[in-house]
Amino acid sequence: MSLISELFGKSPFSALVAHTKKVHECVKLVRPLMEACVREDYEEIHRLQDAISKLEYEADQVKHEIREHLPRRYFLPVDREDLERFLHCQDNIADYAQDFAVILLIRNTKIHPELVEEFLAFVNQILKVSDTLLAAGEELDDLAESSFGGVEAKSVLDRISGLGEQEWMADRMQRKISQHIYHLEKQLDPVTIMFYEKMLHTLSEIANAAENTGDLLRAMIVK
């Protein structure tokens, strides 16, 4: 009856923060997975893969809910396409984390002792990138409150701008590990090398997705 009761739709921002937190939980399991692989604790890998799979599914559900409540007639403070691409890209982070778990699960791959430290360092770098991005994403509520302007927006944008460099360092580390692997190729069987490459590729995809998500978050803020 009253005009103003029809004016408002559901805010997507708290749901976006919830999605970011779910993705963050997925990514947090990557390091335990790597450590379990190094220890050759295959039961732990199995358990962690189950956990990640469940979290990834829950993130998907949040994503679908957000999409459902954003019909065209609602005008948003950010560009709608940027928001959808951001959501899609952030969801990819969780997807790649889950892919990594599956790779570790389907074959009991042993990590060559000389490569252990580099692999762990690489995982740390990847997680640095994704943690930076996800911490920024969890501030969407505050960004909306301060209307995407002022000190809050500036601080988030500053943090995102560091993502590019961090991702570049991750790329460098990946190249170094690959070189080291081919150094040791006489000591390794081809299938193991294949799986090392798959692991490296999936991990670097996590960082790439995080960097792209950061770009879209910047686009959303700046509009």
Partner 1 sequence: MTLLVIGITAVLGLYMAWTIGANDVANSMGDAVGSKSISLRNALILAAIFEFCGSTLVGSHVTDTVRQGIVDPNALSSAPAVLALGMACALLGSALWLHLATWWGMPMSTTHSIVGAVAGFGVVAAGWRAVKWGMLGQIVASWFISPVAGAVAAFLGFRLIVWLILGRERPADSAIRVWPYIVFIVALVVTISTLCDKALTERVPALKDCLSGRRALILSLFISGLCGLGARLFIARHFRDYDGVSLHEQLSRVERVFAPLVVVTSCSVSFAHGANDVANAIGPLAAVVDIVRGGGQIKMQVLVPMWILVLGGCGIVLGLATYGHKVIATVGDKITQLTPSRGVAANIATATTVLVCSRMKLPISTSHTIVGAILGVGLARGLAAVNRNVTKSIFGSWLISVPASAALTILLFLLCRLVHLDEVLRNIIVPAALR
CB atoms within 10 A of CB 75: 7
Smallest distance from the beta carbon of 90 to partner 1, in angstroms?
18
Q: Is 206 in the site for partner 1 (CB under 8 A)?
A: no
User: Which is nearest to 27 in space by CA: 99, 87, 86?
Assistant: 99
Residues 200, 182: Cα–Cα separation, whole Å: 14
Contact between 65 and partner 1 (CB under 8 A)? no
By C-beta, is 15 or 104 nearer to partner 1? 15
Site string for partner 1, 73-92 (x = CB under 8 A): xxxxxx--------------
Cα–Cα nearest to 62, from 23, 25, 101: 23
Say whether residue 150 binds partner 1 (CB under 8 A): yes
How many residues touch partner 1 (CB under 8 A)? Answer: 34
**CA 183 – CA 177 distance, rounded (Å):** 10
Alpha-carbon distance of 204 to 198, in angstroms, equals: 10
Nearer to partner 1, 1 or 43 (CB): 1
> Is residue 137 a contact point for partner 1 (CB under 8 A)?
no
For position 175 contacting partner 1 by CB under 8 A, the verdict is no
Q: Which stretch binds partner 1 (CB under 8 A): 39-47, 105-113, 152-160, 190-198?
A: 152-160
Listed in sequence order, the DSSP H helices in 107-189 are: 116-137, 140-145, 150-161, 163-183
Residue 68, interface with partner 1 (CB under 8 A)?
A: no
Q: Smallest Cα–Cα separation from 217: which of 67, 74, 44, 79?
A: 79
Is residue 139 at the binding interface for partner 1, with CB under 8 A as the rule? yes
Task: Please tell me the distance from the alpha carbon of residue 14 to that of residue 20, in angstroms, as a whole number.
Answer: 10
10 Å CB burial of residue 4 (0-12, 13-18, 19+) is: exposed
29 or 153: CB nearest partner 1:
153
Give least dist CB 170 to partner 1, A. Answer: 28
Q: Is 4 in the site for partner 1 (CB under 8 A)?
A: yes
Which tokens in the block code for residue 76?
């948003």
Please say which residue, 61 or 146, places its beta carbon nearer to partner 1.
146
Binding mask 114-133 for partner 1 (x = CB under 8 A): --------------------
Interaction site with partner 1 (CB under 8 A) = 1-13, 70, 73-78, 139, 142, 144-153, 155, 223
